[in-house]
Amino acid sequence: MHKFILTSLGCKVNQYEALALGEALARAGLAPAGRGELCDLIVLATCCVTATAMRKSRQALRRLVRAHPGAGVLVTGCYADYDPDRVRLALEELGLPPERVEIEGHHGDVAAAARRAAARLSGSSRAERPGRPKGGPATLARRTRAARDRAPGTRGLGPISRFRAHQRAFVKVQDGCDAFCSYCVVPYARCRVWSRPAAEIVAECRRLVEAGHREIVLSGVFLGAYGRPTAVRRRWEDRPSTLPGLIRRVAEVEGLWRLRLSSLEPGDVTDELLDAFRECPALAPHLHLPLQSGSPRILAAMRRQYTPDDYRRAVAAVREVVDEPAITADVIVGFPGETEADFAETLALVRQAELSRVHAFPFSAIEGTGAWRMRGEAPRSPVVRERMARLEALASDQAERFRRRLVGREVEAVVESRPRDDSARAMSGRYQPVWLDAARVRPGQIVRAEIIGTRCGGWVGQLLPPQ
């Protein structure tokens, strides 16, 4: 039996799609390769959200090809859309002939590419060659416009039956973004905005819970646009979001212990969403609300659909409804034109919002995006590094304050792994790891614990008897 190996980089949606590809290959007669086993097909789901992500995608590709000589390659994900020519060149430099390569991003049919790759391994005549995707960053806008009227290439992927190697299962409910924030390349790769039917999502969640997953994470490229034809808020019809209704339906799945939302924006924190938090005990007390900047001027230049005041109001509204919520955020440092005063506003808002975790990263100029043309106005690298250090110090201090505030409380958590130091790592509803005595727990177990201290960016827990 032919074997395949699966690697994904980037977001939760990418991870879901990679596993869906794996199940499609299994249906086609392939089997996952074991640890250390050579494979016949390499599947790599790439990411291009930053220049670093692109570099890591290329590095992973080279590493996998060298580790599995003679294997065919299927490259998918956003980088396969952003710069297929660069991907193809990297494979040619590694000596792979074109007949062993499939490069298919969201502008094409990823499921069909997987079928072709599987058929080619079996020598089937069905392995005909389609037109190969071509282009690079310079033609990105033209290729995106051409793809807007086609069905997204990942629509044929899923549902999945199990989220391999995870206790928590990510479920893709929405795809695509057409908001075109000036720094973001994702809309060029995932330009079609669409949502899966609620009944299909609920059925998939039910199967995953039956397979042993006790936590479900509803995921999307622009989750707040679930049920909408666009991610541009000013174009939305004057009707409530259907996301809260989906949350309620999934929360009712028998056996589900916890439901989490992957990422929302301040505009998604509506009365209807807050009602769902009130009414659904399974909904985790955690919201990821990307901030990016605390400066209204920089947010406008980024073409974000909210202001700093919108962010403050959203955080305050969540805190009125959710007990000690964990609010996490992304922040971009060094966007073109960012002054010291702009950065001071970011620090002030991070401090005021009392964020429990901040993912800070330096601005990455990506060719083809609006901010690419402004890259000459970006602060110099030493300035960006110094600002990153200040933000990370503030974020670390706030995270520790958040953790210490809950010492003495009781939490529930799902055990995820057993590190070598005899401590087991569990994940709490507030997106904080809890370290427990590994001898008394097992992966997948739901436990109660009293928080008795902090450690390694999380909590130390003392196990409590089941209720």
Per-residue model confidence as pLDDT tens digits over 426-461? 999 999 999 999 989 999 999 999 999 999 899 999
- Could you give the residue range(s) of every CATH 2.40.50.140 domain in the chain? 410-464
pTM for the complete prediction?
Answer: 0.93
| Average pLDDT value for residue range 106-116 | 87
Please state which of the four CATH numbers 3.40.50.800, 3.30.2320.30, 3.40.50.10800, 3.30.750.200 is assigned to the domain occupying 287-405: 3.30.750.200
Report whether CATH 3.40.640.10 matches the domain 3-138. Answer: no
What is residue 127's predicted lDDT score, i.e. its pLDDT? 47
| Average pLDDT value for residue range 89-117 | 89
What is residue 153's predicted lDDT score, i.e. its pLDDT? 60
Give the C-alpha separation, 304 to 297, whole Å: 11
Tokens of 35: 């640890």
| Average pLDDT value for residue range 304-328 | 98
Q: Give start and end residues of each alpha helix (H) in 190-234.
A: 198-210
Task: Tell me which residue of 317, 293, 276 sits closest to 379, measured CA to CA.
Answer: 293
The dihedral formed by the CA atoms of 361, 297, 375 and 13, expressed in degrees to the nearest 10: 40
Per-residue model confidence as pLDDT tens digits over 385-397? 999 999 999 999 9
Residue with tokens 């490069």: 103
| Average pLDDT value for residue range 51-80 | 95
Helix (H) or strand (E) holding 60: helix 51-67
Helix (H, G, I), strand (E, B) or coil at 86: helix
- Could you give the residue range(s) of every CATH 3.30.750.200 domain in the chain? 287-405
- Please report, rounded to a whole number, the percentage of residues in the chain having pLDDT higher than 90: 81
Tokens of 2: 């032919």
Lowest mean pLDDT among 141-155, 225-239, 401-415: 141-155
Residue 88 pLDDT class (50, 70, 90 cuts)? very high
At the second CATH level, the architecture of 410-464 is Beta Barrel (2.40)
Q: Would you say residue 12 has pLDDT above 90?
A: yes
HEC readout, 364-426:
CCCCCCHHHHHHHHCCCHHHHHHHHHHHHHHHHHHHHHHHHHCCCCEEEEEEEECCCCCEEEE
- Could you give the residue range(s) of every CATH 3.40.50.360 domain in the chain? 3-138
Cβ contact 224:265 at 8 Å: yes
- Cβ neighbours around 262 below 10 Å, total: 19
What is residue 268's predicted lDDT score, i.e. its pLDDT? 98
What is residue 380's predicted lDDT score, i.e. its pLDDT? 97
Cβ contact 164:213 at 8 Å: no
- Please report, rounded to a whole number, the percentage of residues in the chain having pLDDT higher than 70: 95
Tokens of 155: 């629509």
Using CA of residue 185, residue 218, residue 412, residue 427, what is the dihedral sign?
Answer: negative
What is residue 197's predicted lDDT score, i.e. its pLDDT? 96
Give the C-alpha separation, 153 to 103, whole Å: 12
Please state which of the four CATH numbers 3.40.50.2300, 3.40.50.10860, 3.30.160.70, 3.30.750.210 is assigned to the domain occupying 159-284: 3.30.750.210
Give the C-alpha separation, 71 to 96, whole Å: 9
Q: Would you say residue 317 has pLDDT above 90?
A: yes
What is residue 139's predicted lDDT score, i.e. its pLDDT? 76
Residue 69 pLDDT class (50, 70, 90 cuts)? very high
Peptide bond preceding 433: is omega within 30 degrees of 0, i.e. cis?
no
- Could you give the residue range(s) of every CATH 3.30.750.210 domain in the chain? 159-284
Cβ contact 9:85 at 8 Å: no
What is residue 152's predicted lDDT score, i.e. its pLDDT? 62
Cα→Cα distances 337→175, 299, 303, 374, 383, Å? 31, 11, 14, 8, 12
What is residue 125's predicted lDDT score, i.e. its pLDDT? 45
| Average pLDDT value for residue range 59-77 | 95
Q: Would you say residue 384 has pLDDT above 50?
A: yes
Q: Which DSSP letter does residue 84 get?
A: H
Query: Mean pLDDT of all residues in the chain?
Result: 92
